[in-house]
Amino acid sequence: MAPSAIPTPAPPPSASPSPDAELLQLLQQLEAPLKNLPQLAHDFEATFHDLALTSTTQFLPTPVRVLPSGDETGQFLALDLGGTNLRVGVVELLGRRSLDTGDGERLRIPTQGSWSIPEHLKSSTAEDLFHWVSERIRNVLREQPTTTADVMELGITFSFPMEQTSHTSALLMPMGKGFTFTNTNDLAALLSTAYTATSAAGEPALRIVSITNDSVATLLSAAYAHATPCSKTAAGIIAGTGTNATCMCPVSKLHASKQPPGDSGDGGMLLNTEWSIRGTAPPLAPYVTAWDRRLDAGNEKPGFQPLEEMVGGRYLGELVRLVGLDVFPRDALPAAMHRAYGVDTKLCGDVEAAATDAEALALLADYFSADGGWGLGLGAAATFRRVCGAVSTRAAALVAAATVGVLGMNDELGDGVNIVVGYTGTILERYPGFKERCEGFMREIVRKRRGGEDGATVTLVEARDGGILGAAVLAAMVKGGST
């Protein structure tokens, strides 16, 4: 099957007024990456190779050398701490044998909970945050009917930069995503101390078996659930509140300080790329707009996460707002359009997916009702849709180009095997059309990389419950000695 063509934002319905020349010129700044995606993917790959060799904050080694076989089994407590939400669940891994015996399931999650992280904890201390996390763990354990163990084995997914030398060691680095912690903290010690300090009689103790980051967990989850003899799960990507990726990289491509002591350089190692932070800025430089610079200047850590600020769910609505300030008459805009982060990314997705401009207008009127409504009319609603499409399509293109660059780290595109990229995150999962656009861009980049020849496909596959499932899968691998 021929790869899908590069998608572009849908124009407003013909009954709507056409954007004027000034709007078209403005949107061309956002559309610039779409015209040069194969070169952008090549630039990402070259930058990633350099970061693997030189960076101390990106392309960080993990203790994982192999992917799961699919035979892993056991019951584990799993924790996934992200930029917006905390999830905790009891995960039962059943392995491939459950499929062979007709059970039809490879895993079950009988008990789980999800909570939004209170904003005040993001600017508090790490100790306060993990005290709150330990209480949420207890909430789940109290609801788990089949767990009578004295000790629960725990796998952790942590969606922030960290330095790891073993499966249970993780030194936290500056976190981003609105968190202001600056001290170096040991993740396992923080959680263990918080849980033990508030433990009650009869509650199971925790034994931390493994710690990993969100993109590694996504890859492990996808590999456990989706790998077949005709495909290879080669990367895991996150596009949610923030963004990250992981890939298998030959140890020989890493700086000596990143290689395990005494390693021969053979084989591969999963890398936590932290592809959103400052080392990835060079390929993006030609495509940074004045809106990106304004957003970055108002961020808590200017210059820290240039890619994330262009593709992360925390920022897409803010980019639409900033573009809107240059598109619409400012004195006619609702007050929320003048407030930082006054436009939610979900609104942008809903407006972009609206069946008609009239439906988009109704969505805008409802969203801004507390500020007196939208009030700019049908034509302005059509323009708002167009801006949303341009911002989200640029984000999909950048994620696609960066993903192809990551696949190049292990020469994944040259052996003719169908490539599976596991994904998770609210933008890829829920933003209308984002996953399809991203996948279309990836396939077109790969096709052009092959000189226009069709070949093995690159497919995005959702990593179901990626954070908590990946944490449990790695815990099972560590327990079984297969990492």
In this predicted structure, what is the pLDDT of residue 122?
A: 83
What's the pLDDT tens digit per position in 56-86?
889 988 889 999 988 899 999 999 988 788 9
Q: What is the mean pLDDT of residues 367-373?
A: 92
d(CA 379, CA 404): 38
Q: What is the mean pLDDT of residues 336-363?
A: 97
Q: What is the mean pLDDT of residues 343-362?
A: 97
What is the arrangement of strands in the sheet containing 85-93, beginning at the earlier edge strand?
A: 107-116, 85-93, 74-81, 151-158, 205-213
Range of lowest pLDDT (179-188, 285-294, 298-307, 468-477): 179-188
pTM: 0.84
In this predicted structure, what is the pLDDT of residue 174?
A: 63
Residue 449, beta-bridge partner list = none
d(CA 346, CA 360): 13
List the chain domain ranges: 74-216+466-477
Q: How confident is the model at residue 428 (pLDDT cuts 50, 70, 90)?
A: very high
d(CA 289, CA 359): 30
Range of lowest pLDDT (96-105, 210-219, 423-432, 437-446): 96-105
Q: What is the mean pLDDT of residues 174-191?
A: 71
- The DSSP output letter for 452 is T
Residue 108, beta-bridge partner list = 92
Pairing of strands 74-81, 85-93: antiparallel
In this predicted structure, what is the pLDDT of residue 286?
A: 96
In this predicted structure, what is the pLDDT of residue 159?
A: 79
d(CA 218, CA 236): 5
CATH number of 74-216+466-477: 3.30.420.40
In this predicted structure, what is the pLDDT of residue 265?
A: 66
What's the pLDDT tens digit per position in 275-319?
999 999 999 999 999 999 999 999 988 999 999 999 999 999 999
Q: What is the mean pLDDT of residues 390-406?
A: 98
